[in-house]
Amino acid sequence: MLSREDCLSLDRKDPLAPLRCDFDLPEGVIYLDGNSLGARPVSALVRAQEVIEQEWGTGLIRSWNTAGWFDLPLSLGDRLAPLLGAGPGEVVVTDTTSVNLFKALAAALHIQAPSRACSDAPHVDETTLAASSQSTLRRHVIVSERDNFPTDLYIAEGLTRWLDQGYTLRLVDSPEALLTAIDQEVAVVMLTHVNYRTGRLLDMAAVTAHAHACGALTVWDLAHSAGAIPVDLAGSGADFAVGCTYKYLNGGPGSPAFIWVAPRHMQSFSHPLSGWWGHASPFSMEPGFRPHATIRSALCGTQPIVSLAMVECGLETFERTTMSAVREKSLALTDLFIGLLEARCGAHSLKLVTPREHAQRGSQVSVAFAHAYAVVQALIEQGVIGDYREPNVMRFGFTPLYLRYVDVWDAVDVMARILDQHTYDESLTPGGVT
Ligand SMILES: *Cc1c(COP(=O)(O)O)cnc(C)c1O
């Protein structure tokens, strides 16, 4: 088992150590919740003041052009793209993950609907329409995981109910079950790359290849992948992707999300939120919608510039390292945390939920415990901020940009004392004291 001294020495040798200075972290806090809300880049305060005082205050409406506001969703998308294995002009930063998922799923279903091929055909009579809508049902299934983040499932439910074309959601209970669940009936496979609760990482390339072999398209949610692990959207052959910027990308609370469309789908990309920002010529003020030919068509309405501008501050730090360096430290930190927990808290029937295999692990460690909620509260009181997820999971996110090895050692030290001395209040539950 590593000692605290060993951890301090790892920190002295850590090539990512200088990046911690990019963040403003409160004294006395070990922050293991950067997977939920990333820490604040120091530059965010400076940038916010600049945007508000100069760009908004002085520049006023001129700033849409002079300060680059109009192109901000695209320019940020281009800066984010390398972290996702995507190219320039393929990503925009806009809206929320939920809304972007709605657009991506709608676009994928639209591409898959065979009736689309007939819709432009002349002289379509009612019989052909009926036939084509029946053939639509051949691919009527959307595959996902029951344990997916709820909003993803809610969005799929909402969209398909609204479409009212007989789509069904086929939910699997384990990643292994995906292979049999994906068959010729499936239109779209909609998955989260790293599970928010367990931290389990799916093999994007393998699942995508299997989906494609069955004729299905894939929509990947990268909420817990972007900035956490290397992602290779192009190399894995994915079709669509969405994700957050306020988690590992440190964009700030509620900072806009992103959406990526594979270049091969750009021409057929279409979604129902056809607002004027996605129009081919927004300032022509035409009565009819014509989609922009580029990823700009994924935009809907006027962008939240102040929040959007903060995303840049989060991305800057990534430009001073590589995702493989981030990944290497992330695995070292999570390995260390798991090892220390086993050595020091082994007597307390904690159960590791996150896979040990590196190939299946995101940048978090989840541990099940009967009094998980109470222990998380006790940890937070002592400055170790992790979080609780139903039904009994303590969840700890590891952000290599600002976490030190010694933080991991200290966090486990606090945890061991809480468990050994039983200084948590078992009557505390998520709903309040029972
Ligand atoms: C965090 C998270 C979201 C959040 O969606 P919002 O629309 O930003 O609230 C969505 N999906 C997954 C998988 C997440 O982890």
pLDDT digits (tens, 9 = 90+) for 402-425: 999 999 999 999 999 999 999 999
pLDDT digits (tens, 9 = 90+) for 200-210: 999 999 999 99
How far does residue 324's CA lie from ligand 1's centre (Å)?
A: 24
Cα–Cα dist 127/108, whole Å = 26
- pLDDT higher at 137 or 38: 38
Window from 37-51, 126-140, 175-189, 255-269 with minimum mean pLDDT: 126-140
**Ligand 1 near 246 CB (within 6 A):** no
Long-range contacts of 1-9 (CB under 8 A, 24+ apart): 1/339, 1/340, 1/343, 1/344, 2/336, 2/339, 2/340, 2/409, 4/406, 4/409, 4/410, 4/413, 7/336, 7/404, 7/405, 7/406, 7/408, 7/409, 8/405, 8/406
The closest-lying atom of ligand 1 relative to the alpha carbon of residue 221 is: 13
Mean pLDDT along residues 65-94: 98
Q: Is the pLDDT of residue 36 over 90?
A: yes
Mean pLDDT along residues 11-27: 98
3-class SS of residue 312? helix
Q: What is the pLDDT of residue 69?
A: 98
Percent of the chain residues past pLDDT 90, beyond the cut: 92
The closest-lying atom of ligand 1 relative to the alpha carbon of residue 99 is: 7
How far does residue 151's CA lie from ligand 1's centre (Å)?
A: 7
Cα–Cα dist 390/412, whole Å = 22
Nearest CA to ligand 1 atom 13: 149
Q: What is the pLDDT of residue 137?
A: 56
Which among 37, 145, 148, 151 is the best mutation to test ligand 1's pocket, defined by most ligand atoms within 8 Å of the CB? 151
User: H or E stretch including 242?
Assistant: strand 240-243
Q: What is the pTM of this model?
A: 0.95
How far does residue 15's CA lie from ligand 1's centre (Å)?
A: 31
The torsion angles phi and psi of 186, rounded to 5 degrees, stand at -85, 130
Q: Give me the DSSP letters along 164-178.
A: TS--EEEEESSGGGH
- pLDDT higher at 286 or 129: 286
pLDDT digits (tens, 9 = 90+) for 87-99: 999 999 999 999 9
How far does residue 222's CA lie from ligand 1's centre (Å)?
A: 9
Contacts of 421 (CB under 8 A, 6+ apart): none
Q: What is the pLDDT of residue 432?
A: 67
Q: What is the pLDDT of residue 127?
A: 47
Least Cα distance to 430 among 398, 394, 396 occurs for 394
Count Cβ atoms below 10 Å from residue 390 Cβ, excluding itself: 9
Least Cα distance to 256 among 241, 246, 247, 264 occurs for 246
Q: Using 50, 70 and 90 to split pLDDT, how confident is the model at 115? A: low
Looking at the annotation, which residues are catalytic?
149, 221, 246-247, 395
Q: What is the pLDDT of residue 123?
A: 42
Which among 244, 248, 363 is the best mutation to test ligand 1's pocket, defined by most ligand atoms within 8 Å of the CB? 244
pLDDT digits (tens, 9 = 90+) for 161-174: 999 999 999 999 99
Q: What is the dihedral of CA 176, 178, 180, 184, to 10 degrees?
A: -160
Q: Using 50, 70 and 90 to split pLDDT, how confident is the model at 298? A: very high
Nearest CA to ligand 1 atom 2: 223
Q: What is the dihedral of CA 247, 252, 254, 260, to 10 degrees?
A: -60
Q: Is the pLDDT of residue 157 over 60?
A: yes
**Ligand 1 near 244 CB (within 6 A):** yes
Nearest CA to ligand 1 atom 10: 97
**Ligand 1 near 142 CB (within 6 A):** no
Q: Using 50, 70 and 90 to split pLDDT, how confident is the model at 434? A: low
The closest-lying atom of ligand 1 relative to the alpha carbon of residue 247 is: 1
The closest-lying atom of ligand 1 relative to the alpha carbon of residue 148 is: 13
3-class SS of residue 213? helix
Q: What is the pLDDT of residue 1?
A: 86
Q: Is the pLDDT of residue 296 over 60?
A: yes
Mean pLDDT along residues 143-152: 98
**Ligand 1 near 257 CB (within 6 A):** yes
Percent of the chain residues past pLDDT 70, beyond the cut: 94
Cα–Cα dist 139/154, whole Å = 20
Mean pLDDT along residues 275-279: 98
Q: Is the pLDDT of residue 396 over 90?
A: yes
Pairing of strands 186-192, 432-433: unpaired
Q: What is the pLDDT of residue 429?
A: 85
The token duo for 381 is 């009181």
Q: What is the pLDDT of residue 119?
A: 42
The closest-lying atom of ligand 1 relative to the alpha carbon of residue 100 is: 7
3-class SS of residue 403? coil
Q: What is the pLDDT of residue 118?
A: 40
pLDDT digits (tens, 9 = 90+) for 306-347: 999 999 999 999 999 999 999 999 999 999 999 999 999 999
pLDDT digits (tens, 9 = 90+) for 121-134: 444 444 444 444 44
**Ligand 1 near 224 CB (within 6 A):** yes
